[in-house]
Structure 1
Amino acid sequence: MSDSQPDLVERQRDQYRQDLDNLRNQLSVLSQQIKQKQQDLIEAEARIINLRQSYDYAKKELDITEPLANEGVVPKIELLKLQRQLNDTRRELTSTELKIPVLKSAVREAMLSRINAAQKFRTEQQDKLNQAQDKLSSLTESAVGLEDKVNRTVVVSPVTGTVKTLYVNTVGGVIQPGMNIIEIVPTEDTLLVEAQIAPQDIAFLRPDLPAIVKFSAYDFTRYGGLEGTLEHISADTTQDEEGNSFYLVRVRTKETTLGHDQNLPIIPGMTASVDIITGKRTVLDYLLKPILSAQSNALRE
């Protein structure tokens, strides 16, 4: 999809440039029409001025010639010519005056067409922009959903190591919650120990609490345990084959071997117990706890 994005953007730019060129050509034609109609209006107004002058001259000439024609000084034919000329001038003047409102209206319509063309272009481009933004928003939401779907299909090991056992290798297979997928032998300089915590003991646990890991293969009183830190607490309980519920926690140790001098190895698969330190109390606190509990219960009763 990323490879096709530059081509898509370039096509959109080409389309916009083509639309813009069409608008410029249309506006140019409309501008020429406006100039032509304005010129027609100017010529018509100038023609009216000339016709009015011609009419006035013809009227004066007729007024002078008519008495002379009646007296026989001027032939009657000259009088008729002047009358016909005056009538033609009046008719042309009237016709030209009637054209003025039409020409003015044509100029206004041409100017309005030019404005409408520009407004139509802006509206169409805004609609295209809105459609593109809606499509982009929809694609962005789809991409987020697809990315989340892809992320949830990718299983990441909590440790770096070598694959020992692959429990699931079916393409398209469905993995149930809590199901083992793969067994990895860690190659890091620390160990990641997985432990099961009863629901009644989970309340006071939180990440970064100190812990002691004791391995059943080595005597704790002699070799001690490995210091570690609580790193992960599962979000919900898991049930074993017997239906017992428990939380899965992971403790990362600071060392990979036991004993200060003997460097006793820790082999994957060894069973261990984990003591997570949630707080410290004095010996007196332990001695007084039964008494204080009994006193509290007695006061409530």
Structure 2
Amino acid sequence: MSDENGDDDREDRENGRQKPLLLTPDQPAPSPDPGKDSDEDEGRRKEGRRDEDRPETAADQAGPRQGSGYSLAGIGIGVGAQAQGAAPQQAKPPAPEPARVRDDQPRESRELVRTREAQTPAPPPPPSPPPPPRPIAAPDPGRWPVRGPLMVGLLAILILFGGFGLWAMESRIAGAVVAPGQVEVEQQRQVVQHPDGGVVEEIAVTDGQSVAAGDLLIRLDGSLVKTELTIVEGQYFEILARRGRLEAERAAAQEITFPRPLTEAAARDAGLDDLIAGQRSLFEARRDTQAQSLDQLAKQSQQVAQQVEGIDAQIAAMGQQRDLIGQELKDQQSLLDRGLAQASRVLGLQREAARIDGQIGELKASRAASETKQTEIDVERLRMTAQRREDAETQLRDLGYRELELAERRRSLTEQISRLDIRAPVAGLIYDLKVTTPRSVIRPAEPLMYIIPQDRPLVIGARIATINVDEVMIGQPVVLRFSSFSSRTTPEIDGRLGRISADALVDEGTRTPYYRAEVTIPPEELEKLGDMALIPGMPVEVFIQTGERSPMAYLLKPLADYFNRAFRES
């Protein structure tokens, strides 16, 4: 069939005949230019041949492609597509244009299109266009006056903005720093702690009980501390007794003067009398021993002195003999020179004189040795006395360090014993008692209970944000509003800012920094509350007055702050 269609087409082209074309709505109208038509016809013929040579696909079998060069609307195939693409409007759609035959369509399609064209009636003539709309006439200024309302509106706007500006510049608005707070006692609640800890022996109070300052709260077991104190005091008092003895030996005193702590303790404790008596006996024994040694040395020195005296007497006697022999020798020598005496006699006298001189020399040497011995004895006496003092000084120096150590330990243990009784620091009510069982163990610095003072004036503790601390100072007026009471019946209370913390504090729960401030309330302001009593812990809204400013200043301050920080060279 395709070969026959192709032969018919070739015959028509050879004879120069042009078949009528049936165009679909998506195809353009034929051009009046013949040259152009021939080129387009030639292109369509080539495209028709390619379509004939192309194998038939599933899409070709199912129906015509959307947007292709030909349409099967003339044979009733495109009815479903037109139904789907119809607009949802209720108006009657325009009549479709009649399908036209194209050269690139197969022969069967062209025959079907020609048959459909012969059977399709001619379309009705198009409806006449609607008449043009009537032009709108311009409003007449005389009929529609707008100048009066416009002037009234402008005047109202001017009055509104002018009045607002005048009010914003001339009026004053009181400023305040708002801070949360609560009612507190002037000294707040007092925490009761123990610096050392220990074992609870007795609990003397209960939760909610009223106590006076100095009342017993808790008593701790002090048996171990007292035992240690007894040992330390024994060592300490022994050192004091030794110190008294050594000081007496250093001063070569005849009696011991013991330190006052030892004598005062001995008056209370009879056991220290034995310690004092022992040191006194030792002192007397050492003193007697030294005295005896000194006496022996004194006797030895006296004996040596006597020996020196005897030697001096011998030397004197030998000197007299030497003088006599010398005189006799002189006489015999004179006689010998005159030939009246014998030479042997003269020699004998000379020999005797030499012997006496030798004895005198020996006696002098013996006297010098005796004097040396006497000097040594005197030096020994001085050495014994100095040695005793040096020994006493050395022992005192060693005892001094030990005495200071024991004195400090004794003082520390005494303070621990004095702290075994935990007493109330102030008068008030016991709150949150944490120790309820005897023999329980408490740790050092652990909170045991709280005491809420009852004889202290009430203050308001406020937390000021760090960004607002530059706007507050001591002495500023404060307005207090108690949110626990009814706002209709509770008046606002005036106060004064009395204290501000020197540095920022940090909330342990939220880790938010803040400055703590205390507000004092005059007694006449508290009278405004009447029967309403303030209880520690009540929440309070604190308004710290910071002065008056105009609304315009409030509006312009953020803008001024922004420009102060802007236009800065980095």
Matched, 1:171 2:441: yes
2:538 to 259, 270, 276: 270
Look up the match of 2:508: 239
The structure 1 residue matched to 2:565, chosen from 289, 294, 297, is 297
* Equivalent of residue 17 in structure 1, options 248, 266, 271: 248
Equivalent position of 1:44 in the other structure = 311
Q: Who is 1:70 aligned against?
A: none
Structure 1: tracts of 5 or more residues without a match: 66-81
Secondary structure in 2 matching 1:227: strand
The 3 A distance-change label for structure 1 pair 30 and 299 is: farther
Give, as a single letter, the amino acid of the residue that structure 2 aligns with 1:296. Answer: N
Q: Quick one: which amino acid aligns to residue 230 of structure 1?
A: R
Letter in 2 for 1:227: G
What's the C-alpha RMSD, in Å, of the aligned pairs?
Answer: 5.5
The DSSP-based 3-state class of the residue aligned with 2:319 is: helix
Paired amino acid for 2:561: S
Q: CA deviation at 1:212?
A: 6.1
Instruction: Give the TM-score of the pair, scaled to structure 1.
Output: 0.61
Give the fraction of aligned pairs with identical amino acids, expressed as a percent. 19
User: SS where residue 441 of structure 2 aligns?
Assistant: coil
Amino acid at match of 1:237: V
> Cα offset for 1:106?
1.4
- The CA distance in 2 between the partners of 1:190 and 1:57, in whole Å, is 120
Q: Which moved more, 1:205-214 or 1:167-176?
A: 205-214
- In the alignment, which residue of structure 1 is the partner of 2:129? none
Shift of the alpha carbon at 1:297?
A: 0.8
Q: 1:252 to 1:280 in 2, by over 3 A?
A: closer
1: distance between equivalents of 2:533 and 2:294? 87
Q: Which secondary structure state, in structure 2, belongs to the residue aligned with residue 244 of structure 1? A: coil
Q: Does 1:230 align with 2:230?
A: no
Segment of structure 1 superposing worse, 140-149 or 14-23: 140-149
Give 1:34 shift. 3.9
**Amino acid of the structure 1 residue aligned with 2:247:** Y
* Whole-angstrom CA distance in 1 between matches of 2:499 and 2:429: 23
Q: Which amino acid aligns with 1:96?
A: L
Radius of gyration: which is bigger? 2
Structure 2 partner of 1:74: none
Query: Are the aligned partners of 1:195 and 1:250 in contact in 2 as well (CA < 8 Å)?
Result: yes
| Aligned length in residues | 279
1:172 maps to a residue whose letter is I
Mind listing any 5+ residue stretches in structure 2 that lack a counterpart? 1-228, 255-286, 333-348
Q: What SS is found at the alignment partner of 1:14?
A: helix
Question: Mapping of 1:77-226 within 5 angstroms?
Answer: 93-135=360-402, 138=405, 160-168=427-435, 170-173=440-443, 181-191=448-458, 214-218=481-485, 222-225=490-493
Matched AA of 1:104: E
**2:558 partner letter:** P
Q: Deviations over 1:67-112 (max 9, x none)?
A: xxxxxxxxxxxxxxx9xx9999777645433312322221322233
Match of 1:53 among 320, 324, 333: 320
Change (3 A) 1:268 1:139: same
Query: When the two structures are superposed, what TM-score results if normalisation uses the length of structure 2?
Result: 0.37
Answer yes or no: is 1:283 the counterpart of 2:549: yes
For residues 41 and 197 of structure 1, what CA distance do their matches in structure 2 show? 103
Higher RCO structure (Cα 8 Å, ≥6 apart): 2
Richer in helix (by share): 1
- Cα distance in 2, alignment partners of residues 249 and 231 from structure 1: 6
Alpha-carbon deviations, 1:94-152, whole Å to 9, x = none? 54333123222213222332343344344334434433444455567778988999999
Give the secondary-structure state (helix, strand or coil) at the position aligned to 2:430: strand
Deviation sequence 1:261-280 (CA, Å, 0-9, x none): 614211234233456x5x94
Q: 3-state SS of the aligned residue for 2:394?
A: helix
CA 48–244 in structure 1, closer or farther in 2 if over 3 Å, else same: same
Structure 1 residue 209 displacement after superposition: 8.4
Deviations 1:181-208 (A, max 9, x none): 5343321141255555666667898999
Per-residue CA distance 1:8-63 (angstroms, 9 max, x = gap): 54552234325625397255654554444334323322322223324555787899
Distance 1:153 1:212 in 2: 47
Which residue identity lines up with residue 223 of structure 1 in the other structure? P
